[in-house]
């Protein structure tokens, strides 16, 4: 009889451990993380199922999931896991791995939002919301959602048309450059 489950090896689990500093191997599938996840109803694969798929080395399923981009980083799972697994940290590691590997994402909005946000920080040292939102909308062609809220926010001084630059911007750019080098180190 041949084993029908594709079992690569523990490579995926080991890489997740290195990147997140947490041991997915300790997960015993109690599903407490999934039960308390506020986004669970919207996810294609629940957090506990992600842990199981990492055990199984099912890289394509995990890195190609909607779930890793829907995770809101609320840390409810990490706080409640009886095995002290940092599930939110695993979600971060998986997002980074998906981008690193050039995985075709089922939904690129999360990645584009992170790029737009960090681009703004690199340029100004702080988030310039109007510029960041415009960059995000251009990247995703999502031009009209939430624009109804803009005039009122401008009127109340909650959005500024000009960037609020930090005088540390040169140092911030240097930090971005060196962080990229550090991330590339094995």
Partner 1 sequence: MKYAFFPGCSLESTARAFDLSTRAVCRALGIALEEIPDWACCGSTPAHASSDSLAVALPAFNLQKAQAAGLPVMVACASCYARLRTANHRIRNNPEDRRRAERITGRPYDGGIEVRHVLDVLVNHLGMDEIRARVSRPLGGLKVACYYGCLLTRPPEIVAFDDAEHPTCMDELVTAAGATAVEWPFKTECCGASLSMTHSGVVGRLAHKLLSMARSAGADLLVVACPLCQVNLDLRQADAAKAHGALRPTPVLYVTQLLGLALGLPPEDLGLDAAAVGYAGGKS
Q: Which helix (H) or strand (E) holds 173?
A: helix 169-184
| DSSP assignments along 11-73, one per residue | HHHHHHHHHHSS-GGG-----HHHHH-TTGGG-SS-HHHHHHHHHTT-HHHHHT-SHHHH---
- Cβ 48 to ligand SF4, closest distance in Å? 4
Alpha carbon 139 to its chain centroid, in Å, reads: 17
Q: Map the footprint of partner 1 across residues 69-98, applying CB under 8 A.
A: 69-70, 72-76, 78-79, 86, 91-92, 95-96
- Binding pattern for the stretch 79-118 against ligand SF4, x by CB under 6 A and - elsewhere: --xxx-x-xx--x---------------------------
Q: How many CA atoms lie within 13 A of 53 on its CB side?
A: 20
Of 47, 57, 125, 131, the residue at the interface with ligand SF4 (CB under 6 A) is 47
Q: How far is CA 18 from the centre of its chain?
A: 17
For binding to partner 1 (CB under 8 A), which residues are involved? 19, 21, 38-39, 41-42, 69-70, 72-76, 78-79, 86, 91-92, 95-96, 99, 109-110, 113-115, 117-118, 121, 125-127, 129, 133, 136, 145-146, 149, 152-153, 156-160, 164, 166-169, 171-172, 174-176, 178-180, 182-183
């Amino acid at each position: 009889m041949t084993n029908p489950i594709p079992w690569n090896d523990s490579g995926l689990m080991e890489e997740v451990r290195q990147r997140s500093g947490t041991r997915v191997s300790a997960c015993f599938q109690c599903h407490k993380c999934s039960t308390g996840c506020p986004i669970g109803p919207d996810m294609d694969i629940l957090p506990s199922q992600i842990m199981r798929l990492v055990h199984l080395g099912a890289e394509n399923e995990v890195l190609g999931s909607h779930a890793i981009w829907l995770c809101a980083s609320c840390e409810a799972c990490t706080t409640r896991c009886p095995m002290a697994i940092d599930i939110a940290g695993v979600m971060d590691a998986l997002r980074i791995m998906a981008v690193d590997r050039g995985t075709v994402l089922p939904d690129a909005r999360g990645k584009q939002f992170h790029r737009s946000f960090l681009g703004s920080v690199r340029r100004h040292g702080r988030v310039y919301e109007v510029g960041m939102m415009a960059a995000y909308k251009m990247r995703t062609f999502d031009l009209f959602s939430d624009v109804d809220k803009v005039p009122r926010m401008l009127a109340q001084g909650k959005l500024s048309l000009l960037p609020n630059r930090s005088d540390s911007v040169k140092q911030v750019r240097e930090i971005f450059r060196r962080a990229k080098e550090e991330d590339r180190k094995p």
